[in-house]
A and B are shown apart, each in its own frame.
Chain A
Amino acid sequence: QSALTQPASVSGSPGQSITISCTGTSSDVGGYNYVSWYQQHPGKAPKLMIYEVSNRPSGVSNRFSGSKSGNTASLTISGLQAEDEADYYCSSYTSSSTLLFGTGTKVTVL
């Protein structure tokens, strides 16, 4: 079971939109609508931002949105803000009834 593939880094200017991809297989991302996204600031615990592909927990800004096409899930951050600078991880349920995290993406606000 290999980690889900994410770009190592993505950057954007304040106000812009960025998209982070999360690529798996038909046995994980492509097979289930159980993809989650987590935000992690340095030295802090991860925070759930998106669950079940596109749902936002209460309290999470609507600037964060999720989607999926085939074996690739995506997290889009619109209206990028300085506070969005963090590491982002995707996660998926798998056909083995286990979980997988992504390789992580560092978002930089220029």
Chain B
Amino acid sequence: QITLKESGPTLVKPTQTLTLTCTFSGFSLSTSGVGVGWIRQPPGKALEWLALIYWDDDKRYSPSLKSRLTITKDTSKNQVVLTMTNMDPVDTATYYCALKPYSSFDYWGQGTLVTVSS
């Protein structure tokens, strides 16, 4: 059974750095072709893809947020970490991690709501 779960702070202050962890089970990020991505959704708005890390450590970022994002993996811990710098209230959103076995996000975490406010 494949599961993913996001964890991290629910509240961050403007200008702070957000660190989110995706802990997963039921698959290995060492398997060829596999990737784990982060997607966010502001309240009442659309999904926005943020970043993706592949089994071979290849990393891809949303061009509009690339300067603020870093994605890493710890295969031994079955975790993927996303950091986003210089948080702003417009970054308030539910953040999801999801498994991309090949061409699509087949499995999603439940999401975690992050609010940016002073």
Pairwise interchain contact A38-B103, C-beta atoms closer than 8 A: no
Q: Pick from B47, B49, B104: contact of A51, CB below 8 A.
A: B104
Closest B residue by C-beta to A98: B60
Residues of A within 8 A of B14 (CB): none
- B106 contacts partner chain A, Cβ-Cβ < 8 Å: yes
Number of A-B residue pairs with CB-CB distance less than 8 Å in the complex they form:
64
The total of chain B residues at the interface (CB under 8 A) is 23
Q: Pick from A40, A45, A52, A91: contact of B49, CB below 8 A.
A: A91
Which residues in chain A, 34-50, are within 8 Å of chain B measured between CB atoms? Answer: 34, 36, 38, 40, 45-48
Interface segment, B20-28, B61-69, B82-90? B61-69
The CA of A36 and the CA of B52, in the complex, are separated in Å by 16
- A1-B64, A46-B96, A98-B60 given as contacts; is B104 within 8 A of A36 (CB)? yes
Interface segment, A10-18, A19-27, A75-83, A100-108? A100-108
Q: Pick from A47, A52, A93: contact of B108, CB below 8 A.
A: A47
The CA of A96 and the CA of B46, in the complex, are separated in Å by 21
- A109 contacts partner chain B, Cβ-Cβ < 8 Å: no
The CA of A36 and the CA of B98, in the complex, are separated in Å by 14
Q: Which 10 A-B pairs have the closest CB atoms?
A: A36-B104, A51-B104, A45-B108, A104-B46, A99-B49, A101-B47, A34-B103, A89-B47, A1-B63, A48-B106
- 19 interchain pairs (CB within 8 A)? A1-B63, A3-B46, A3-B48, A34-B104, A38-B105, A40-B47, A45-B110, A45-B111, A46-B96, A46-B98, A48-B105, A51-B106, A89-B47, A93-B103, A96-B63, A98-B61, A98-B62, A101-B39, A103-B46
